[in-house]
Amino acid sequence: MIAISTAFKNAQLCYKINDYEEYIEIDSNCKHSENVLKTLNELLEKNSLNINSSDCIATIVGPGSFTGIRIGIAIAKALSCVNKDLKLISLSSLDYIAYSYLRDNKEENDFYVLLNALSGLFFVCKYDKNGNKLDEEKMIDKEELDAIKENIVGISEENLVGINITLNAQYLLDFALEKYNKKEFVSEKNLVPVYIRKSQAEDNLKN
């Protein structure tokens, strides 16, 4: 299993192959589009492995950074073209945050996960205390955000709400492995970005 997240400021790369596990984070200043695949290869080579050593790749498909989401999906699809037997797993960024939050915190009630969608808008999704999704991922404005009474969980790099967590690559791998064990695979055709919000280019065309 290889897992990739390029939807946030820092990219996360990790894998579990045979008895080997490795994790790494890449700062956004390192240009994900140029360095993610190169760094992944270097990470695998530490244990004399390569891309074909894995039977599955999981990637965050959003919501999140438009560019980042595209990078992760493009890498997964490119690798699946090289290795036709490679399984694909689609990971939600909001599900990943909810999973990470509950790994370190006991929640007694329903809660929301939030990401910044910019321009005063936010991506949110509601979960129960066990991390089960209770609603569809959606976009809301500040007024709707202020009306939420339940706990809201965000990420430290955005620092938008009262509860902020720091994501780490080991939890990304564990999250992906849960999907792998449940055989939640998707076809290359169905490995698609979750944008929710239109890109700036699309908004400009509309105007």
Per-position pLDDT tens, the chain of length 207: 999 999 988 899 999 999 999 999 987 655 656 688 888 999 999 999 988 899 999 999 999 888 889 999 999 999 998 888 999 999 999 999 999 999 999 999 999 999 999 999 999 999 999 999 999 999 999 999 999 999 999 999 999 999 999 999 999 999 999 999 999 999 999 999 998 766 544 444 444
Report the run of H or E that residue 72 belongs to, with start and end: helix 66-82
- Quickly list H helices, 83-126: 93-104
Q: How would you classify the pairing of strands 2-5 and 11-17?
A: antiparallel
- Asked if residue 58 lies in contact with residue 86, where contact means CB atoms within 8 angstroms, the answer is no
Give the per-residue pLDDT at 67: 87
User: Which pLDDT does position 64 carry in this prediction?
Assistant: 87
Question: What DSSP assignment string belongs to 42-56?
Answer: HHHHTTT--GGG-SE
Please give the distance of CA 76 from its chain centroid, rounded to a whole number.
13
Which residue ranges form the domains of the chain, and what is each CATH number?
Answer: 2-92+167-206 (3.30.420.40), 94-165 (3.30.420.200)
What is the value of pTM for the model shown? 0.92
* pLDDT recorded at residue 205: 44
Rounded Cα gap, residues 72 and 190, in angstroms: 14
Q: What is the pLDDT of residue 29?
A: 58
pLDDT of residue 154: 97
